[in-house]
């Protein structure tokens, strides 16, 4: 994903994934699940190689629905009860409390929960509770930050129940990860009109992905996995063309000068949308947008001096 003038440009792969996710997200966030004895499973896994724009796509999902999104990097998770502050689960509770109605919760780099460390086990337990629609007992609720005399006894329990109801009935939870080992070995040669062969990692099969994901975590997401494939040369060109329509006219000559080499390096190195963002920076630098502002004194005004007031 690339941004310019606050408008997101999505790659063809991202557009396809967004089209798949939108109907599920509408069911998850519209309130239609309210009061149902059995809740439809809407938690979704979005899997793709590094640089494919998974978390950006998840944010775009919230924007498309007109609701807020919260992206949590699982690799930086603060366990409840740890010395670090604030605890991640409490941040999520605060976000739930402030939601205007519904939201999208993104658990980014969820594939980092593969190691057998104690930290990983504790994070996994908190995320399991979250995916089950439950806030762990140790969660600091927003109401607990108020003076004790300002809220009646038992109101903390009431707030916890209300936040959990919002979590279950009005929040779309997405897990984003690369699971790089599942892509390893899946490669085919792609011609790019050059002497250098380009090896493109193909999307792993569902069986390969399932083999890489912890079973307890996997069963909490719906069965259909949304895959983001690596961008092809034609995809880079498609996105670059869309962005070129939006950038200021004075950047176009520098943009055209750099675009060929950047797109080739992007395809060869599977750089994803990052390559387009770097191309935009190169164009701005070549166009002189990074120069120090002119600090020369402003020219004296040619207007006649203002007359002094008369003294009687």
pLDDT tens-digit map of 22-75 = 999 999 999 998 888 888 999 999 988 777 788 889 889 999 999 999 999 999
pLDDT at 237: 83
Same domain, 217 and 280: no
Beta strands in the chain (DSSP E): 2-4, 7-9, 44-47, 69-73, 103-108, 171-177, 187-190, 198-201, 225-227
Same domain flag for 154 and 17: yes
Q: How far apart are CA 166 and CA 142, in angstroms?
A: 14
Residue 46 lies in a domain: yes
> Quick count: other Cβ atoms within 10 Å of Cβ 34?
11
Hey, is 108 helix, strand or coil? strand
**Is the residue at 275 inside a domain?**
yes
Residues 105 and 12 grouped into a single domain = yes
Mean pLDDT over each residue of the chain, to the nearest integer: 81
Phi-psi region of 294 (alpha: psi -120 to 50; beta: other; left: phi over 0): beta
The tokens 């040669």 sit on which residue?
Answer: 189
pLDDT at 192: 37
Tokens of 131: 């995916």
Q: Which two tokens stand for residue 195?
A: 């002497």
CATH number of 68's domain: 3.40.50.300
CB-based burial label for 160 (10 Å; 0-12, 13-18, 19+)? middle
Shared domain for 222 and 244, answered yes or no, is no
Domains identified in the chain, total number: 2
Mean pLDDT over 251-278 rounds to 81
Q: Are residues 159 and 251 in the same domain?
A: no
Exposure of 85 by Cβ count < 10 A (0-12 exposed, 13-18 middle, 19+ buried)?
A: exposed
Parent domain of 134: 2-186+202-227
Residue 154 lies inside a defined structural domain of this protein: yes
Q: What is the mean pLDDT of residues 257-275?
A: 78
- Shared domain check, 274 and 219: no
Flag whether pLDDT at 186 surpasses 90.
no
Query: What is the DSSP pairing of strand 103-108 with strand 198-201?
Result: unpaired
Q: Are 170 and 249 in the same domain?
A: no
Indicate whether 99 and 165 sit together in one domain. yes
pLDDT band (50, 70, 90) for residue 76: very high
Q: Kindly state whether residues 275 and 209 are assigned to the same domain.
A: no
Of 253, 235, 234, the residue nearest 244 (C-alpha): 253
The model's pTM is 0.79
176 and 266 co-located in one domain: no
Percent of the chain at pLDDT above 90? 35
Q: Distance between CA 137 and CA 126 in Å, rounded? A: 10
Residue 303 lies in a domain: no
Stated as kind and residue range, the H or E segment containing 282 is helix 274-286
Instruction: Tell me, yes or no, whether 17 lies in a domain.
Output: yes
Would residue 193 count as lying in a domain?
no
pLDDT digits (tens, 9 = 90+) for 100-129: 999 999 999 998 888 888 999 999 999 999
């Amino acid at each position: 994903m690339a941004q310019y003038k606050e408008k997101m440009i999505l790659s063809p792969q991202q557009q396809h994934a967004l089209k798949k996710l939108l109907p599920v997200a509408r069911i998850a966030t519209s309130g239609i699940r309210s009061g149902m004895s059995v809740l439809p499973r809407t938690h979704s896994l979005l899997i793709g190689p590094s640089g494919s724009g998974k978390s950006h796509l998840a944010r775009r999902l919230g924007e498309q629905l007109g609701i807020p999104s919260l992206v949590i990097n699982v690799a930086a998770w603060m366990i409840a009860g740890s010395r670090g502050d604030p605890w991640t689960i409490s941040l999520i509770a605060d976000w739930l409390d402030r939601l205007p109605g519904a939201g999208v919760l993104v658990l980014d780099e969820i594939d980092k929960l593969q190691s057998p460390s104690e930290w990983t086990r504790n994070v996994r337990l908190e995320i399991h509770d979250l995916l089950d629609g439950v806030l762990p007992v140790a969660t600091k609720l927003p109401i607990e930050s108020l003076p004790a005399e300002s809220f009646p006894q038992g109101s903390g329990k009431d707030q916890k129940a209300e936040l959990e109801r919002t979590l279950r009935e009005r929040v779309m939870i997405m897990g984003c990860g690369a699971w790089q080992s599942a892509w390893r070995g899946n490669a085919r040669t792609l011609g790019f009109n050059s002497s250098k062969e380009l090896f493109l990692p193909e999307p792993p099969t569902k069986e390969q992905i399932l083999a890489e994901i912890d079973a307890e975590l996997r069963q909490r997401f719906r069965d259909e996995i949304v895959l983001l494939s690596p961008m092809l040369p034609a995809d880079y060109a498609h996105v670059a063309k869309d962005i070129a329509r939006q950038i200021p006219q004075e950047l176009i000559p520098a943009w055209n000068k750099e675009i060929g080499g950047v797109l080739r390096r992007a395809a060869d190195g599977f750089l994803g949308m990052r390559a387009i963002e770097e191309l935009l920076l190169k164009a701005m630098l070549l166009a002189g947008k990074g120069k120090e502002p002119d600090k020369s004194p402003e020219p004296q005004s040619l207007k006649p001096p203002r007359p002094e007031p008369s003294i009687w």
